[in-house]
Structures are given as structure tokens and as C-alpha cells.
Amino acid sequence: MNRRLLLLAPFGATVVVGAGFLAMLFREQQGKFDPRGVPSMLLGKHVPPFVLPGDPNSSVGGFTDADLAGRPILVNFFASWCVPCVEEAQVLMDLKRAGVPIYGIAYKDKPAATAGFLVEHGNPYARIARDEAGRVAIDWGVTGVPESYLIDPGGIVRWRFVGPMPADVATGELKQQLHKYV
């Protein structure tokens, strides 16, 4: 009896996974599935306390959670090894030109690699900090890079975008959020 149950376990697991996959496809077909829709526990809460060192290749030091108060700031987790970060680079440069303050957190990246990435793709960041251990990213609930968070003047997380930010989101949804705090 126990042996028969053991043999049926993989079949049962396959059925459950298949049903979940079909449900996801059905929701996507109806336009109700949002792969970026993973909720953030930080929305509406203060930024978790942190202190991160700066990039040794930059004259500007790192930053802390206290540096994210006083004005709206977009915090962007990125890495040189991140292919989607290359996709997002031009959008962030356009935001910088539009006057949006962006602070970057180099996630699990080597200083020389970060410097090379910024030379090749542009540096949209007013300040850059290093999260080599990935500890701060865990506290923020980062699911992967790139990932961006809008912090209001009170240091509260108001908006989050997972993945490379497309231009239409930057000029639409993000700009709408920024206007609430300017």
C-alpha cells in the first residue's frame, strides 16, 4: 500500500503543477495575469534601515536609509552582469535628464564591473551604493535585478517596478507617482 502511494506521488505532483500552469495560461489569455504582480511588503512602509558603502570608483560615497528622505527618489537595484539592466539603462538616463533623482544599488557586483557597466551604458545615478552580500536586497524583498522603488519625501516606499522599466512606464505610471510628491 505504501509503495503504491509512493509511486503515485510524482503523478500527483505533476497534475498539481500542470493545473497551476494551465490556470496561469488561462488568466494570461484573459489579461488578468501580471508576471510583475508580486506584491511588495514594503509598499506604504518606511525603507528598512541600512548603511551601504559607496563605489570606490566614485567620488560620492554610499548612502543610508536616512539619505532617502526629503524628496522623492527612485532607488534602482542593478548589476553589470544583468542583461535586462542593459535594456533599462537608456530609460534611466532619460529619467535623469528629466530631473528624476535616481540612487543606484549595485547588487552582488564587483566594483570594476560596475564601473565598466556605467561607462558603457551611462550613469543615471546621483549616488551609488554597493550591496555585495545582497543583504539589503533581501530586506527590501528584491526578487531580481533590475528592480526599482519610488521613495516619497518621508522615506516611505510608494511604488515598485520589477524588471527592466520600459519607457512607457517611466513616462506614464512613474511620472504620475512622482507628481504626487513634487
Q: End-to-end alpha-carbon separation of the chain, Å?
A: 68
For residue 22, the model assigns a pLDDT of: 62
9 vs 128, more confident: 128
Q: What is the full DSSP assignment across 14-71?
A: HHHHHHHHHHHHHHHHTT---TT-PPPTTTTSBPPP-EE-B-TTSSS--EEGGGG-SS
For residue 30, the model assigns a pLDDT of: 61
For residue 129, the model assigns a pLDDT of: 96
pLDDT range class, residue 42, cuts 50, 70, 90: very high
pLDDT tens, residue by residue, 81-138: 999 999 999 999 999 999 999 999 999 999 999 999 999 999 999 999 999 999 999 9
DSSP 171: I
> Per the omega criterion (within 30 degrees of 0), is the bond before 153 cis?
no
For residue 182, the model assigns a pLDDT of: 78
pTM attached to this predicted model: 0.80
Q: In b/e form, how buried is each residue of 127-152, taking b as 16+ CB within 10 angstroms?
A: bbbbbeeeebbeebbbeebbbbbbbb
Residues 89, 124 contacting (CB under 8 angstroms): yes
**β-pair type (102-107, 127-131):** parallel
For residue 59, the model assigns a pLDDT of: 72
Closest to 124 measured CA to CA, from 100, 147, 155, 142: 100
Closest to 73 measured CA to CA, from 115, 124, 145, 146: 124
* Residue 1 in this model has a pLDDT that exceeds 90: no
pLDDT tens, residue by residue, 148-181: 999 999 999 999 999 999 999 999 999 999 999 8
pLDDT range class, residue 14, cuts 50, 70, 90: confident
**β-pair type (73-78, 147-151):** antiparallel
Element (H, E) at 172: none
- Taking residue 70's Cβ as centre, other Cβ atoms within 10 Å add up to 11
For residue 26, the model assigns a pLDDT of: 61
pLDDT tens, residue by residue, 45-95: 999 999 999 977 777 779 999 999 999 999 999 999 999 999 999 999 999
